[in-house]
Amino acid sequence: GVMKELLGLRDLEAKLRSRLGVKEAIVVPGDSDAFTWVKRELGRACIARMKEAVKPHDVIAVMGGTTLAAVAEMMTPDPNMETVTFVPARGGLGEQVENQANTISAQMAGKAGANYKLLHVPDQLSEETYASLIAEPGVRDILEKIKSASMVIHGIGEANTMALRRGSSEEFLHKLTEEQVVAEAFGYYFDKKGTVRYKQRTIGLQLDTLDDSKLVISVAGGASKAEAISAYMNYRPSDVLITDEEAAKRLLSM
Ligand code: G3H
């Protein structure tokens, strides 16, 4: 029955907390690998958690990906968000426009009735171009805003899937396999132990600046992401993990 199902999910949440060291785990029923509506359920849970935590004038930094796009899809108008500003957490990472952090941030703001700011950074830039771009006053302003974020919402990807989707070279894909790199988040690639192995060059939030002043919410589901979620949490356990039943079960059986 429904009660038993709920108890099962609460049990998974408790086990995830102790296994991963996250402060809070929220598990929705199903498997987002198999059904896209489960991704929207992750989205719904994420929006509810964001609304619980939001304060007036907050800055909320969001990353990209299909899961974050599903989160944006589930956003609804909220008077508590009128003074909130959404920003992308980092610059371009080689995603299609609908999966880019800029797009998702603008969409969340549009649906919530909040504000947003864009970060215009092309994907493949040289060191020198980055350096001069960061010096631009307009870019500096938004980078300050991003740093001041009190909430950060991001997805976690399986490393190979992400590298393929972002058009990485054969050589890079080969390295990922060779070095057992299994997770991707924020444009950083992690091995099983949670060590950062590669970092895509872009500006915005650097992972080592995710201090305790920010509420970090990770949203990732599907059994195929179990290993990636575990690897990323070895790097830094999030405040909140929002995942689905199948990812949780696979992770806990590893
Ligand atoms: O960084 C992680 C990825 O953005 C996750 O992408 O939600 O499409 O699996 P996804």
Looking at residue 183, its pLDDT comes to 98
Distance 95 CA to ligand 1 centre (A): 10
Over the stretch 177-188, which tens digit does the pLDDT of each residue have?
Answer: 999 999 999 999
The reported pLDDT for the residue numbered 29 is 96
pLDDT value, residue 7: 76
Give, rounded to a whole angstrom, the gap between the first and last alpha carbons of the chain.
28
> Would you say residue 156 has pLDDT above 90?
yes
Write the single-letter amino acid at 58: D
Average pLDDT, the chain: 95
What's the pLDDT score for residue 92?
Answer: 87
Alpha-carbon distances, residue 164 vs 9, 20, 23, 159, 193 (angstroms): 33, 27, 32, 9, 22
Least confident of 83-92, 116-125, 213-222, 224-233: 116-125
Token pair for residue 158?
A: 């399986």
What is the Cα–Cα distance from 59 to 145, expressed in whole angstroms? 7
92 lines ligand 1 (CB under 6 A): no
- The model's confidence at residue 94, banded by pLDDT at 50, 70 and 90, is confident
pLDDT of residue 209 exceeding 90, the answer is no
Query: Which of 73, 162, 242 gets mutated to test ligand 1 (max ligand atoms within 8 A of its CB)?
Result: 162
3-state secondary structure 121-180: CCCCCCHHHHHHHHHCHHHHHHHHHHHCCCEEEEECEEHHHHHHHCCCCHHHHHHHHHCC
At residue 101, the 3 state secondary structure works out as: helix
**pLDDT of res. 187:** 94
Nearest to residue 196, comparing CAs of 243, 205, 187, 178?
187
Does 239 sit in the ligand 1 pocket, CB within 6 Å?
Answer: no
Query: What is the per-residue pLDDT across 63-93, written as a single tens digit (0 to 9) for each?
Result: 999 999 999 999 999 999 999 999 999 998 8
Asked if the model's pLDDT at residue 131 lies above 90, the reply is: no
Render pLDDT for 11-67 as a digit per residue (tens, 0 to 9): 999 999 999 999 999 999 999 999 999 999 999 999 999 999 999 999 999 999 999
Percent of the chain with pLDDT over 90: 83
Indicate the residue type of 64. Answer: G
The conformation of residue 74, written as its DSSP 8-state character, comes to T
Does the Cβ of 94 fall within 6 Å of ligand 1?
Answer: no
Check pLDDT > 90 for residue 129: no
